[in-house]
Amino acid sequence: MRILMFGWEFPPRMSGGLGTACFGMTKALAGQGHELTLVLPQPQEAGDAPFLRLLSATEFPDPSGAQGPCDPVPGLTIRPVPSLLSPYLNQESYQERYLSRGKFFPKTAVYGHDLLGEVARYGRAGGRLARGLDCDCIHAHDWMTVPAALQARRVSGKPLVLHIHSLEYDRSGEQANPEILQIERAGVEQADRLIAVSHRTRRMLIERYGIAPEKISVVYNAVTRQETQALFSPERRQSRRDRKTVLYLGRITFQKGPDYFVEAAARVLKALPDVTFVMAGAGDMLGPMIERVAALGIGNRFHFTGFLQGEEIERIFSLADLYVMPSVSEPFGISPLEAMLYDVPVLISRQSGCAEILRHALKVDFWDVREMAAKIIAVLKYPRLAGEMAQKAREELRQIRWETAAEQIAAVYREAGRKTARSDR
């Protein structure tokens, strides 16, 4: 099948799990014979993958509908749309990018004055692109791509599959942005089929938006060892058993529960004062977390690395003795699977989608810092427990494959196509 896909991050430019998921699923889909064109709202940095060729922004189809040059290698073609959009923007951070656009972006480009205006402009570009490409199905990811996907659907008449990796209620709780909710609602209601990354997300779609259950398919994310270069070997931990490291890796935002990690760390350090805690990532709660660590008097055992990527992530996983994901609301959560690739035991919140499939991870309610601390201490004090968790995780990961997810996604494409064909009769 020929798939027109709308996303908003992809390696090497990533800020979270969506980029990892898009890489894994597109690689698997291309490997199964599907032809994909991935549209992104910003030119990518130079990079490559065995199954794709990056195209410059000058190769994007013009408004007349002329198609850019064809990729001579079957698989995935990336078509960047010049735009100020990037993952996890809010109105304030978008405005900063808009005001500094002359420094980072072509001065001839015309961008929206605010975040939602830019999303709408990207949507119009999606409609223009759809006129110049033949496809069998449109596949879009999360709210920022909804206007583009709906425009493409109207222009092409092709079925739309909307892939829900995270809802606004996950990101913001009850303080959800009403304008984003409106866009999100339009997408989930008008799409022909929905893919949810977990049953947790499926339930939210049914309860929050009133979506018919039969419209939603659950396809779990995956991870493959080929996604990492394994530059740093986990055997390095063998020589430093006396110095234990506990890792948090992710956005430092309300959704990810960094404050619960800090509180649990303070409890652990009362029992095991030589443990080092690492918080890797960036976000709007970084400042408050630094202040709280200082107030608790644990700054000498706590490190903030800032945003990490590529080889830096490989290194930090290889040095960790335990990975903790204390998310308040996590639709799936790929990072625990990545940690497991490095034989790192994982502790995850029960409020995460990946908890539905990981049988050999420790689990805790995000708010229960007492239990979280107790389980951290247990893994660090009892090497046999950590070793057994790592061994069982290796066995478990063999069953969590992007090829399986790609087969399920292709089945959703076919069902969306049959639905559109029935409605056209």
Q: Read off the CATH number of the domain in which 46 is found.
A: 3.40.50.2000
190/319 same-domain check: no
- Express each pLDDT in 14-60 by its tens digit: 767 888 899 899 999 999 999 998 888 765 443 445 554 333 223 34
**Which residues span the domain enclosing 263?**
225-397
- Express each pLDDT in 360-409 by its tens digit: 999 999 999 999 999 999 999 999 999 999 999 999 999 999 999 999 99
178/277 same-domain check: no
More confident residue, 217 or 226: 217
For the cut 90, the answer to whether the pLDDT of residue 215 exceeds it is yes
113/259 same-domain check: no
132/184 same-domain check: yes
195/70 same-domain check: yes
Distance CA 409, CA 413 (A): 6
For the cut 80, the answer to whether the pLDDT of residue 108 exceeds it is no
21/37 same-domain check: yes
58/191 same-domain check: yes
Sign for the CA dihedral angle at 380, 382, 387, 389 comes to negative
Report residue 95 CA to chain centroid gap.
Answer: 23
368/318 same-domain check: yes
Phi, psi of 36, deg, nearest 5: -120, 140
Task: Specify the pLDDT at position 19.
Answer: 85
Task: Specify the pLDDT at position 62.
Answer: 38
Report residue 5 CA to chain centroid gap.
Answer: 16
Is residue 294 a contact partner of residue 224, using CB atoms and an 8 Å limit?
no
For the cut 90, the answer to whether the pLDDT of residue 202 exceeds it is yes
73/144 same-domain check: yes
Is residue 193 a contact partner of residue 212, using CB atoms and an 8 Å limit?
no
Indicate the number of domains in the chain: 2
240/187 same-domain check: no
Residue 304 class from Cβ within 10 Å (0-12 exposed, 13-18 middle, 19+ buried)? middle
The average pLDDT across 121-146 equals 86
229/107 same-domain check: no
Q: Tell me which residue has tokens 């959009």.
A: 85
206/117 same-domain check: yes
- Express each pLDDT in 59-85 by its tens digit: 344 343 333 333 332 466 765 555 444
- Express each pLDDT in 310-336 by its tens digit: 788 889 999 999 999 999 999 999 999
In this prediction, residue 232 has a pLDDT band, given cuts at 50, 70 and 90, of low
Report residue 139 CA to chain centroid gap.
Answer: 16
